[in-house]
Amino acid sequence: MAKRHKNYLLAKEKIEQKEYAVDEAFGLLKEVKSTRFDESVDIAIRLGVDPKYPDQMVRGTVVLPHGTGRVKRVLVIAAGEKQKEAEEAGADFVGGEEIVEKIKNENWFDFELLIATPDMMRHVGKLGKLLGPKGLMPSPKTGTVTFNIKESISDIKKGRVEFKVDKTGIINAAIGKSSFDTSDLVDNAREFVSAVLKAKPVSLKGRYVMSIYVSTTMSPSVKLNLQDFEK
């Protein structure tokens, strides 16, 4: 723990309290990396919204051009031919009502994302208290309640990321790995921020994006220049 603390402090000394251009920021994160494992690269966007008001809730999905560096285990709950479509599309787990019962009775959660067809939501809805707290409840807004199973799975495997503002007004997400080329991280960051900008609530008055920071699993945060995303 002491060694990690020392490396963190050394990294912090190299990061100035200023706004960095997006390519500069990711280059700096690579420079201060001190771990042997492939760290996650995360982005945190503070918004000028008040999430306690429904009309200021910000959420959506985006397919990152270079993926996240991690493929999620996908469960599809469907019936009939849609189960076959899911299997052919590369779903990790496929089932119908029996999967719903498995989750309910065995507390089974070996998946990281759940897609359900609209006709199965009457069964999946019964799992709200189990799925909701884990962020696994499918929703039409995030494209996880759909009959277009093939496209949905394809997007997820390519690197689709869901985002949702938390109660403090911040959106956090992983947008890559420290092993990614700087240019790929820049592309992913720009695509992610663009999606958040498009999700701006119509009712919001005043400034929308307050600040953007990027970091790796073990590094201090680096503040980005907001004007860099207006180009």
**Among 139, 158, 177, residue at a domain's last position:** 158
User: Residue 145 is encoded by which pair of tokens?
Assistant: 């309640």
Spatial neighbors of 106 by CB under 8 A, at least 6 apart, are: none
Q: Are residues 49 and 78 in the same domain?
A: no
Q: What is the pLDDT of residue 218?
A: 83
pLDDT at position 1 over 50: no
Give the whole-angstrom CA distance, residue 114 versus residue 60. 16
Give the whole-angstrom CA distance, residue 141 versus residue 139. 5
Q: Are residues 63 and 166 in the same domain?
A: yes
**Chain-wide mean pLDDT for the chain?**
90
Q: What is the pLDDT of residue 129?
A: 94
Mean pLDDT of 105-119: 95
**Among 158, 176, 194, residue at a domain's last position:** 158
Where does the pLDDT of residue 149 fall: very low under 50, low under 70, confident under 90, or very high at 90 and above? very high
- Contact present, 213 and 224 (Cβ < 8 Å): yes
* Distance from the Cα of residue 10 to its chain's centroid: 29
For 16-25, 30-39, 55-64, which range has the lowest pLDDT when averaged over its residues?
30-39
Q: Are residues 25 and 95 in the same domain?
A: no
Tens of pLDDT, residues 118-137: 999 999 999 999 999 998 99
The more confident residue out of 84 and 217 is 84
Mean pLDDT of 12-23: 84
12 forms beta bridges with none
- Contact present, 70 and 178 (Cβ < 8 Å): no
Domain encompassing residue 111: 74-158
Q: Are residues 64 and 105 in the same domain?
A: no
Total-model pTM: 0.76
Tens of pLDDT, residues 43-92: 999 999 999 899 999 999 899 999 998 878 999 999 999 999 999 999 99
pLDDT at position 3 over 60: no
Q: Are residues 63 and 121 in the same domain?
A: no
Instruction: Supply the CATH number for residue 60's domain.
Output: 3.30.190.20
